[in-house]
Amino acid sequence: MKLWDKGIKISKRIEDFTVGKDRELDLFLAPYDVIGTLAHITMLESIGLLSSDELKILKNELLAVYKNIQKGKFIIEEGVEDVHSEIEYLLTQKLGEAGKKIHSGRSRNDQVLVDLKLFSRDRLEIIVHAVKELFDAFIAQSEQHKNILLPGYTHLQVAMPSSFGLWFGAYAESLVDDLIFIQAAFEIANQNPLGSAAGYGSSFPLNRQMTTDLLGFKSMNYNVVYAQMGRSKLERSVSFAFASLASTISKFAMDACLYMSQNFGFISLPDELTTGSSIMPHKKNPDIFELLRANCNKLQALPSEVIILTNNLPSGYFRDFQLLKESFLPAFFRMQDCIEICTFIIKNIRVNEQSIHEEKYNYLFSVEEVNKSVLQGVPFREAYKKTAEDIASGKYTPERKVNHTHEGSIGNLCNDKIIHKMEEKISGFEFDSIHKAVEELLEEDEK
């Protein structure tokens, strides 16, 4: 079944190529297509394009379809082009003429737009909660190990004292900034495109504010041409948000791979969380961090893929957009998996409290020696030169003490401030109002 079928038999080769992976990928969108349709037909009844009786039977049947989707029993049948066609086909088979009326005032263009926005909004909420759990894990490790020194490096050369508190806390604060990107993507997803039809509106007196309210959107995409242009804007904004978040996790994974190696030896994992070698019996490989790094690097490539597919398209709808789903929809699940496994592994990291005492880290404390002289009245450049001469002549002996008290330093992590920043960002998402609207839309159909 095709919603655009005019009775002309289409070449199977053309059909197979143009349908692509839609039947498989549209299963992700199925519950949202039902929710969007519930809002649409409620609006159609309000403007006289459906009777109250038709609305009632359509709602009841849509709710039954929704329940089958939730149970994993929904399929897009062979020969049916996409999820929109399957749901309309089911309604028409069951309800006859009433099922044929649900498409009035909309196109598959705004149908898939609203499905993608509802899907993205839902999945971004899951990502936000997962990020918060990852943040909490970093903060917990930062607090637990805040007094344990860790060698700091620049250019991969021994540099200055750091601490495990600083290291873990740095990634916690990085996640706060990542949420700014996610919040921007969420704001774009939280605007209603329904009613823009094929991108040029409709001669029906649609009530777009009504569907906006029913679906819990914060606002709508008012301009119908822009609503269609927003197809790639949504994917771009989400992909950049994921790239930012993936960059944080990938950098941490790279640190962990280095720090677990015998040349560093700063951290370790329980044996059961490592893998081995088929010929080297001593190996305990950090495969989890390597695959985290690789998966996150793939996510960082997503913005480029979205841009390449859409960058030279003029306004209006083009079938090119179909290919976005192949990378875009699975990215939400890849991102979630990366966040959750990172949270799990962080909770199990073991810290080597003695590494700082190795002789090769003596020079970590040279800046402390310079600063001590400056505090005694010696000009900084002279103190620097004197310490450099002592190091060159073998006279330098480190005290291995640090006294960093300013905000964000070893002795003053400001984790409470970072936690407050995270709480502010989380509170900026309006999840509760969305839940309420969608729950009311579904509950109404159960009456």
Instruction: Round to whole Å and give the CA distance between 223 and 143.
Output: 50
168 shares its domain with 74: no
45, 71, 101: which is the final residue of a domain? 101
> Where a domain ends, among 101, 118, 148?
101
17/122 same-domain check = no
Pair 79, 126 in one domain = no
Same domain (yes/no): 298, 426? yes
Give the integer Cα–Cα distance in Å for 166 and 411: 9
Q: What is the pLDDT of residues 222-258, one digit of tens each?
A: 999 999 988 889 999 999 999 999 999 999 999 999 9
* pLDDT in the model for residue 10: 58
Task: Measure Cα distances from 55 to 61, 197, 248, 351 in Å.
Answer: 10, 21, 48, 62
54 with 190, same domain?
no
Both 291 and 432 in one domain: the answer is yes
Q: Do residue 90 and residue 142 come from a single domain?
A: no
Q: How far is CA 111 from the centre of its chain?
A: 23
Distance, in Å, from the CA atom of 231 to the CA atom of 342, rounded to the nearest integer, reads 31
* Cβ pair 428, 183 in contact under 8 A: yes
What pLDDT score does 446 carry? 45
By DSSP bridging, strand 267-268 and strand 350-351 are: antiparallel
For 203-231, the pLDDT digits (tens) are 999 999 999 999 999 999 999 999 998 88
Q: Is residue 425 assigned to a domain?
A: yes
State which residues form the domain around 285. Answer: 108-357+414-446
In a domain? residue 185: yes
Confidence at residue 276, expressed as pLDDT on a 0 to 100 scale: 78
Q: Domain for residue 374, yes or no?
A: no
Nearest to 58 by CA among 27, 81, 34: 34
**Beta strand 191-192 with 219-220: parallel, antiparallel or unpaired?**
parallel
Encode the chain (447 residues) as per-residue pLDDT tens digits: 445 455 556 556 655 555 556 678 889 999 999 999 999 999 999 999 999 999 999 999 999 999 999 999 999 988 788 899 999 999 999 999 999 999 999 999 999 999 999 999 999 999 999 999 999 999 999 999 999 999 999 999 999 999 999 999 999 999 999 999 999 999 999 999 999 999 999 999 999 999 999 999 999 999 999 999 888 899 999 999 999 999 999 999 999 999 999 999 999 999 888 887 778 888 888 899 999 999 999 999 999 999 999 988 888 888 788 888 999 999 999 999 999 999 999 999 999 999 999 999 999 999 999 999 999 999 999 999 999 999 999 998 888 888 899 999 999 999 999 999 999 999 999 899 999 999 999 986 444
**Which pLDDT belongs to residue 447?**
45
For residue 16, the model assigns a pLDDT of 58
Q: Cα torsion for 270, 274, 275, 281, to the nearest 10°?
A: -40
* pLDDT at res. 19: 56
Q: How many structural domains compose the chain? A: 2
CA gap 168, 418 in Å, rounded: 12
- The residue behind tokens 């806390």 is 169
Look at residue 256 and tell me if it is in a domain.
Answer: yes
> Could you tell me if residue 397 is inside a domain?
no
Q: How many CA atoms lie within 13 A of 143 on its CB side?
A: 12
Local structure of 133: helix, strand or coil: helix
CATH number for the domain that contains residue 65: 1.10.275.10
Collect all residues with Cβ–Cβ distance below 8 Å to 109 and sequence separation of at least 6.
196, 197, 198, 199, 228, 317
Same domain flag for 344 and 228: yes
Q: Give the ranges where 281-414 is alpha helix by DSSP (H).
A: 287-300, 302-310, 324-347, 366-375, 380-393
Closest CA to 244 of 166, 174, 172, 326: 174
Is 388 contained in some domain?
no
Same domain, 175 and 323: yes
CATH of the domain at 115: 1.20.200.10
- The residue written with tokens 């979205």 in the block is 306
CB neighbour list of residue 8: distance below 8 Å, 6 or more residues apart: none
pLDDT of residue 385: 96
Task: Note whether 264 and 320 are same-domain residues.
Answer: yes
Residues 6+ apart with CB under 8 A from 261: none
Do 44 and 149 lie in one domain? The reply is no
